[in-house]
Structures are given as C-alpha cells and as structure tokens.
Structure 1
Amino acid sequence: MGRARIAVIGGGPAGLMAAETAADEGAEVVVFEAMPSVGRKLLMAGKSGLNITHSEATDTLLGRYGRASERLDQAVRAFDGAALRDWCAGLGVETFIGSSGRVFPREMKASPLLRAWLARLADQGVALRTRHRWIGREGSLHVFDTPGGRVAEPFDAAVLALGGASWPRLGSDGKWVGLLTGEGVPVLPFRPANCGFEIAWSPVFVERHAGEPVKAVLATSDAGALAGEFVVTRWGIEGSLVYAHAAALRDRLERDGQAVLMLDLAPGREHERLARDFARQPPKASFSNRLRKGAGLDGVKVGLIRECVPDAPSLDAGALARTVKALPLKVTRTRPIEEAISVAGGVSWDGVDDRLGLVAAPGLFVAGEMLDWEAPTGGYLLTACFATGRVAGRAAAAFAARR
C-alpha cells in the first residue's frame, strides 16, 4: 500500500501549516495555489512588521476570538503563542515581544520566515504547484484550471485553505463559496472585519486633516473602552484603534443602521479638572486657544471637535469639558470588504466536525479564514490560521491513512 496523498489547496499560512503537518504524518503532499507564488498575504502583512502572534496567556488569547473561542479552543491551546515562537525558532527565525505584548520576528519582515519555511517543506518532499485554481471535485478527482488547461488528480483527502474575501488581489477572493454550497456545506455571508469606517466629513475638515493621526485617545463602543490611536482619511477613519472596535461598530450598523464611536480626547484629565481649566481662560480667548491652554488639545483634535459639535465654540466650560471627554463620531458604513484586513463569516461551524472535516463532504477539511471566526489585529489572525492548519493537516492525513 502506497503513501496517502493529500492535496492542500491554498498556499497561505493555514495551507502551508497543513502541508507541513500532513507531511510530518508521512503523507505525500501537494500544495496548489491559484496565484503565481505562495504566501502573498503573509508577505503583505510583513511589510510594516510581521506581527506573528501575541505573548498574552492562552486563556486571554482565546478570548479574542469571541463567539468562535470555544470551537478554536483545542486548536489554539495545542499551538498557542509560545508554541508558535518555538516553531519560528525551529526555522532559525528569532522572535521578540514588543512593548504591547505583540510578537515579531527579530528582522520584522515576513520574507526570511517564508523562505525558511519553504525550504523545510521542500526537504519534507512537499510539492508546490502555482497557478492552479481549484474548481471543485469530480468523484475522487480534484479539478484545477491552469494556464495549460484543465487538469484533474486523485487524492485520498484534501485540506481547503482558500482564505476569506478580503484582499482579493492577493488570492482571497471567496470564489470557493459556490463550490462548497453546491456540496451542501453551510456557508455564512462574508462581512468585513478589522476594517475602516466611513464618516460624512465636511470638505473643509478633509482638506485640513485627511491623513493625520489622532493619538492618545480612549474610544468606547459596545466593545468597551480601549486606548490607542487611529487615522483620519478622506472617507472616514481607519487604524488599529478603529479595528479593535470594528466588529462592534459593524454589528451595531447592521442592527440599528447607525453607530457611534465615543472619543475621550483627553483621557488623562478628569471632567472636573477640564471644566476648571476652561473656566480660567479669558472670555475673549479664541476657541483654539481655550482648547490648547485648557486641555492641551490642538490640530486634528480641535478639528474633530469643530466637525462633530459645530456649536462647541459657544459652550460653557462644563459643557465643553463634557464634549472633550465624550465626542461622538458617527460612522455611516464599513469600507468595502475588499479593503478589510480580515473577514467574519465563511464556513459555518455547524457544518464542521471537531477535526475541521466538512460533514457534508467527507475527505475535505478546512482551515484558516474560510471558517467563521474573527479576531482583532495583534497576532491573533495568524495564530488561528496556523493552529487550524495544523489540526486540518493532521486530520486529513489520518483520514487518508484509513482509506
């Protein structure tokens, strides 16, 4: 009896981890990727410093996955932040913990890690076939569109790691949805996660402040009160603090048709102190000077107050202090899903067993962003992709060995 043959369809982090794990189990593995090269989204993520995981305790880390935390529990516990750092070390990639607890490769970039990883996969005998777009199954055959025409190959099992629907130019285009629903797999609509939001800025505000960062603020939504910074854009807001609130704002928009991100522009000062400091300002002082001398605010923060509360210059000291401590940013919609860092939705957990096998399609396993989970930025996205890839790769190898 020959070695089990496993197809891994999708060459991102989840797929490559599934390939490595299945090969470790003794399977013959072929990775198929629709794009000209593998790991494109990983490389894009590494352009500003590859945040590969987070150093916080595993129980805390699991809480970042919200409703999906229970279904991801076993996978993430088996390959948490500490295990992922050990795995990087095994590739010769040293990591460090940043001031926020996020974990990065010492070189910050993704390319050295990807090169070392591909070298390991080659040593394991894993074959890579790029420009192969999966178009479904015909019995035991997996069918692909290639530049040379349609090809079909038999495999004993397959792992699907085709991504979600964000950044389609890097390969995650969601075109697999129809293929799986056609086999009876339940798939939930994709929704943007870790995304920007649109705000109806005035032309004057856009002209003066688009592109400026808003630093050292406390933002509150249904997600709670979180500190950080974000960026004003021509169409609205984006950045790490916005992404941390993205799921809550998106859900509120879907439910109520409107959502508000409440900003505390001076989180280090209490309302009473601000009111006293504003009251001390000369009656003839300009609005900008009142804010600068009374609260230490200038630039884009002053612009936000003028934009969101047009009558702010006429407010008394107490009301102005309340405005600084609770400035409402009214968001009107999410940015398009193609621009989102990640997505919610995808293959429903109702259609997946504990080993990430598709109940309606025996022999098919799923990993990564195809599954219905979401998490904030901070290393959590990659952690779950790696962790689910390991589970799916091992399960596919075990399934194939029984055939």
Structure 2
Amino acid sequence: MTTARVIGGGPAGLMAAEVLARAGVSVTVHERMPSPGRKFLLAGHGGLNLTHSEDRDRFVTRYGRSADRIAPMLVAFGPDDLREWCAGLGEPTFVGSSGRVFPEAFRATPLFRAWLARLDELGVRIERRTFWSGWAGGAADAGNGSPGSADALLVTDADGVTTEVTSDVTIFALGGASWPHLGSDGGWVGPFAELGVQVTPLRAANVGVRVEWSQIFAERFAGTPLKNVSLTVRGPRGTSLNAPVRGDAMLTKTGIEGGPVYASGGAIREALDAAALNTAARCVVEVDLRPDLTVDQLAERLQHRRPKDSASNWLRRAIGLDPAAIGLLREAGGGQLPGDAAAMAALVKAVPVVVTGTMPIDRAISTAGGIAWSEVDEHLMLRRLPGTFVAGEMLDWEAPTGGYLLQASFSTGVVAARGALAWLEAAAAG
C-alpha cells in the first residue's frame, strides 16, 4: 500500500493528511506535542476566525509579496471550499459583521473534534510525542536523490529513542517559530539549510511594536484602545511604505499592538531595517486619529474654541477625541499641544510615533520568512528532494489576522497533498 508521512499536526499537516487518506494512501502524522492542533485550538479559544468573505481579488492582496504564489492555492481550495468543508464536519459557518468567517459554534473545539474523528475513520494514524530529527544519513545524503535516502527520516519519541522510518512521500508542515511552547519553534530551519534549501530568516509577524513612551503616558494609558484609527508607515525619506490601514489599536506599556499594527508589519520591518543601516533614519508610524475627516474639515471644526476651554475639552467637543487620543497627541508633542487650529488638524491626521523594534518572535501570532518559493515547484515539492513537499507557515509568506493565516495554511496543505498524489501517480506510471 502507498504510504505517506506528514510531519506536523497543525491545520496544514492535518488537511494534507485528510486529502491523502481520502485517496487511499496510508498516512502517518508525526506530532511532537501530546495532542495535535494545539495552536489551532488556542487561536480559536475566543472565536475561531477561519477565513474571510471579501472578494477574491482583494483577498489575494493580503499576502503582499507572495500574493502571486498564494493565488493558485486559493483557487485550489478557497474560502468557499473551506466553508463547505466545515459544513461537512457538521459545523456550518457564518459571516460576522466585519466580514470574517466563523463556525456556528464559534470556538474551535467542536470543529476540531469532528475533524479528528473523520481522520480516524479514514485510517490516519497520529503518532503523538514524536518529532522529526533529520534525514537518515544526514542532509547531504538526503539531497543526492539516491534510492531510499530522500524518504528515510529520523523520528524521535518522548523517551529519546530515534527510529529510521520510510514512506513513499513526505509532507512537512512544521509551522514557523512564533509558538515554541506549542511545538512551532523553527527548529527545522537548520537541517533544511544544511540540505542547501534557501530559507528566508524567520521574523515576528502579527506582533506588537516597541515605543519608548514617557512613564506618565505608559502608566495612564496602557491597556487603552485607540478606536477607529488609521496607520501609515514612513520610510527614511518620509515616503509611505504602505497603504493606510484602519482599525482599532491597543496601547501597551511598551508600545502599541492590534489589527492595524499587525497588518502594517511588513512595512514596519522594512523601515526598521533601513533605520538599522542608517543611524539618522527612524521607523515612524503615523496615526490618523480621525480617518473619516480631512485636514480642512478638522481645521474648520477646531476653529470654534471657547475661550475658557482647556485643550482637552476643545479636542473632545470639536472633534470627539477621547483621553487616550489626546494623550497620544501630547506624547508626540513632548507634553505640548498646538494652539492653532490648522496645526492641530495636521497633527491629528498624522501623529508621529517612533517605533524602535518589534516584540520578540515568541510573542508573535505568526512569522514572516521561511522556505523560498524558488525552492519548491507549483505543487510545493522541494526541487532538491523529489517526493518531499512543504505546506503552511514553513513557506515564505505572511498575512494579517482576519482569517488569512488559516486559509493559506489549509490551502497549501491541500495543494501539497494533491501534488504528492500526482507525483505518486507519475512515479507508478513511470
């Protein structure tokens, strides 16, 4: 019987396992944790955002520089396919007010239990507390294409016993490096690099950024949201590095986080990299506190200041700013606020916040970087290792939160599995 091994029991790996098993392949999944899908379950603890309902053209743009490579994956298994798959597990989905898609049970647990039951019915074997520890004979032999070497893996169990295992195809879905306590620690990077595979360094994505707030500001406003703002990242010469991103941000003691910050992550890293090379440069994130109003509209409203109004009352009455927004204006001005309506309007539309870095990768929701697209073919098979495929966050792509991360993980899992089936069929025919 044809056999496959899937390394990693997250969404990408389990989806690949299901596709393979449905085609009659005997599948073994190796999961280093006591149970699979731990990141999936944790992500869905407060509501499992599976995908998004926006149109395909806009959806694809969420993947930035990797949009052209992710686009065919979304054709192979897109948001509608994912929703149909959920319904097949007895968990129909609904679209929230923001366009995000959730299972009707809202949380991840019912869906995941149904999925594991289906995998069990399909005969998928999940080897818990076992992890991949390299190729038999080492990376050099694995890459030479000799019979047996590409498929011979070393698997280590909880007792530290390492066993050599083989299969007809292998799919790696080991994730990035943002959840080390749940098994995604990026430990695969070294062995793949030794094989000669180009791996873009893993970096924190969908993560908060560091800002050196004054002590007074940090103590007063940490944990306070900035509602309905827009963020733009400025490059070394003041050019915009991204389109404005709207949403609610959250002030923290050490910086700022939230949806618009996460969605601006690539541009923020670009600006930080430029600043690292040029000590005169800074990464500046401009916060538009009133994105629905123009500078002229704000200036007009700010013209009518009562003589006895304090600056805070003026801003609250005229343009509806809350204390956190007013505090951010003061922070940007070193404690001072412009008294002129035009100057104040300009500041409200572009409050400069100097970002000094991102939070550590182990505090990130996901990672950027991974195996370069040039290292895999259109079926996600490693060019250096025929019969071995890669899926999920191991590949060099990133996306903001909102359902885009899980969707691409599922989609690449499907594509890798279908590619493995095509490779098996071609091998059998040849």
Q: TM-score range by the shorter chain?
A: over 0.9
Contact (CA 8 Å) 1:352, 1:358: kept in 2 or not? yes
Please say if 1:371 is aligned against 2:395.
yes
Structure 2: distance between partners of 1:56 and 1:314: 41
Alignment of 1:203-352 (within 5 A): 203-221=215-233, 222-257=241-276, 258-310=282-334, 312-352=336-376
Shift of residue 288 of structure 1?
1.2
1:45-82 deviations in whole A, cap 9, x for unaligned?
10121110111222221221122122222221111111
State the distance in 2 between where 1:263 and 1:98 align: 27
**2: distance between equivalents of 1:189 and 1:217?**
31
Q: What residue is the counterpart of 1:142 in the other structure? A: 153
* Residues in 2 aligned to 1:28 and 1:255: alpha-carbon distance in whole angstroms: 49
Deviates most, 349-358 or 176-185: 176-185
Deviation, structure 1 residue 270: 3.2
Alpha-carbon displacement from aligned partner over 1:228-263 (angstroms, at most 9, x marks no partner)? 111001110011111111111111211234222212
Determine the C-alpha separation between the residues in 2 that align with 1:272 and 1:365: 55
Which region of structure 1 is more displaced relative to structure 2, 352-361 or 268-277? 268-277
1:297 shift after superposition? 1.3
CA contact (8 A) 1:191 1:344 kept: yes
The range that moved more, 326-335 or 393-402, is 393-402
Letter in 2 for 1:54: H
Deviations 1:249-289 (Å, cap 9, x if unpaired)?
11121123422221221233333343233332234432211
SS at match of 1:365: strand
Preserved CA contact (<8 Å) 2:204 2:367 = yes
Q: Of residues 340, 343, 359 in structure 1, which corresponds to 2:383?
A: 359
1:171 maps to which residue? 183
More off after superposition, 74-83 vs 311-320: 311-320
Task: Give the direction of change, closer, same or farther, for the CA distance of 1:319–1:311 in structure 2 (3 Å limit).
Answer: farther
Of residues 103, 107, 110 in structure 2, which corresponds to 1:109? 107
Residue 203 (structure 1) shift? 0.5
* Change over 3 Å in CA distance of 1:306–1:186 after alignment to 2: same
Q: 2:204 aligns with which of 179, 192, 195?
A: 192
1:162 CA drift (Å)? 0.3
Task: Identify the residue that residue 98 of structure 1 maps to in structure 2.
Answer: 96
Query: Are the equivalent residues in 2 in contact too, given 1:25–1:394 (CA < 8 A)?
Result: no
SS in 1 for 2:353: strand
- Distance in 1 of aligned mates of 2:174 and 2:395: 10
Amino acid at match of 1:313: L
Question: Which stretch of structure 1 is more off in the superposition, 223-232 or 6-15?
Answer: 223-232
Structure 2 gap ranges (5+): 137-148, 234-240, 277-281
Once the two structures are superposed, what CA deviation does each residue of 1:185-224 show, in whole Å capped at 9, x if it has no partner?
A: 1111112111111000011001100001110212223221
Distance 1:261 1:305 in 2: 13
Structure-2 residue corresponding to 1:42: 40
Aligned to 1:183: 195
Percent of aligned pairs with the same residue?
49
- AA aligned opposite 2:267: A
1:2-37 deviation line (CA, Å, top 9, x unaligned): x11100000000000000011112110000001111
Q: Are the counterparts in 2 of residues 194 and 247 from structure 1 also a CA contact under 8 Å?
A: no
1:120 alignment counterpart: 118
Greater shift, 243-252 or 263-272, is seen at 263-272
Question: Structure 1 pair 391/207, CA: closer, same or farther in 2 (3 Å)?
Answer: same
The offset of 1:311, in angstroms, is 5.6
Q: Equivalents in 1 of 2:63, 2:314: separation in Å?
A: 43
Compared CA separation, residues 74 and 314, structure 1 to 2 (3 A)? closer
CA distance in 1, matches of 2:287, 2:351: 5
Q: Tell me, yes or no, if the aligned pair for 2:48 and 2:102 is still in contact at 8 Å.
A: yes
Q: CA–CA distance in 1 between the matches of 2:21 and 2:29?
A: 11
Q: Distance in 2 between matches of 1:135 and 1:394?
A: 25
Matched positions, count: 401
Q: Partner letter of residue 142 of structure 1?
A: L
Distance 2:123 2:366 in 1: 31
Structure 2: distance between partners of 1:301 and 1:59: 34
CA shift at 1:131, angstroms? 0.6
* Aligned-residue CA RMSD (Å): 1.5
- Structure 1 pair 109/275, CA: closer, same or farther in 2 (3 Å)? same
8 Å CA contact 1:14–1:367 kept in 2: the answer is yes
The aligned amino acid for 2:101 is V
| Preserved CA contact (<8 Å) 2:12 2:173 | yes
Q: Residue 337 of structure 2 aligns to a residue in which SS?
A: helix
2: CA distance, partners of 1:132 / 1:400:
26
Q: Which amino acid aligns with 1:51?
A: N
